[in-house]
Structure 1
Amino acid sequence: MPRMIFVNLPVTDLPRSMAFYEAVGFTNNPQFTNEQAAAMMWSDEIVVMLLRHDFWKTFTSKTIPDAHETAQVLLCLSQDSQGDVDAIVDKAVAAGGKADTTPKQDMGFMYGRSFEDPDGHIWENVWMNMGAVPEGETVAEQALA
């Protein structure tokens, strides 16, 4: 089995969240989907598990934060081009999300925008041209410049 990542997100309305994620390019894996949870595939190795709040609470006793008010993580997806970054943000907005909830980034070699899903989870989207990073500098140094 390849190494995979499963990102688990609490959601208030599972059908709405499934429709949102399908609209931005995820596909549902019905083998791991029921009335409590849905497996939304970004790739064969990256799966977002959407969990109804009651089901989420079976995994942890910690309070589910309101992601519209607080942020614990920024999730990031790589894209193949700047146009793909813009396109996924446009799809998110059309499906009920919010655009550019974090600052836009355009550093020449790196371009990024974000969207928020209906539950407030932030997804950054980035395209990078590693060949355009100035010689002798790291990506981090360029991003902080």
Structure 2
Amino acid sequence: MSRMIFINLPVTDLAASMNFYKAIGFENNPDFTDDTAACMVLSEAINVMLLTHAKWRTFTDRPIPPATSSEVLLAVSCDSREAVDTMNSVAAENGGKKDINSSQDYGWMYSRSLMDPDGHVWEAMWMDPAGIPESG
């Protein structure tokens, strides 16, 4: 059995967060979605669980970080530089923010950061493995 990852994120507005993630390329899995949580699927192995604050608190007593902090930077690969740019723009058009950190362009690797409506930071990135400089 291949391993999967479920990234759990607390959200203030479940419907708005679902719309945001749909817009940037995730699909909803209705089998794991109700009025307190939504499973958004990026691939067969990668899922994001959007949890209302009440639902989040059933898993942990730790405080929910404010949207002005960064607890993690989640990088997701894209098929091209253009796809990176598109994801960044679509994020901004759907309740998020684009370019919250400086973009990185090394020729063989290109990335831009975006933020969802609750302040969770994502990095859309493209890489050409054949272009990676040799070390040493």
Same fold (TM over 0.5): yes
Q: Which residue pairs with 1:103 in the alignment?
A: 102
Give the structure 2 partner of residue 48 of structure 1: 48
SS at 2:60's partner residue?
A: coil
Letter of the structure 2 residue corresponding to residue 65 of structure 1: P
Question: What amino acid maps onto 2:133 in structure 1?
Answer: P
Q: Please state how far the C-alpha of 1:33 moved relative to its aligned partner.
A: 0.2
State the partner residue of 1:141: none
Find runs of 4+ consecutive structure 1 residues off by over 6 angstroms.
none
Q: Which residue of 2 aligns with 1:60?
A: 60
> Alpha-carbon deviation of 1:134?
2.0
In the alignment, is residue 88 of structure 1 matched against residue 70 of structure 2?
A: no
Cα-to-partner distance string for 1:34-60 (whole Å, 9 max, x where unaligned): 000000000011000000000100000
| Alpha-carbon displacement from aligned partner over 1:12-37 (angstroms, at most 9, x marks no partner) | 00001001100111000000000000
Distance in 1 between residues matched to 2:115 and 2:38, nearest whole Å: 19
Residues 9-88 of structure 1 aligned to structure 2 (within 5 Å): 9-66=9-66, 68-88=67-87
CA RMSD of aligned residues (A): 0.9
Distance 2:15 2:135 in 1: 48
1:119 shift after superposition: 0.3
Tell me the secondary structure at the aligned position of residue 75 of structure 1.
strand
Q: Does 1:8 align with 2:5?
A: no
Residue segments in structure 2 that go unaligned for 5+ positions in a row:
none
Structure 1 gap segments, 5+ residues each: 138-145
Deviation at 1:69, TM superposition (A): 1.4
Residues 82-125 of structure 1, C-alpha deviation per residue, up to 9 Å, x if partnerless? Answer: 00100111110111110011110000110000110000100001
Give, in whole Å, the separation in 2 of the partners of 1:135 and 1:61: 46
- Deviations 1:55-85 (CA, angstroms, capped at 9, x unpaired): 100000001111x211110011001110010
TM-fit CA distance, 1:128: 0.5
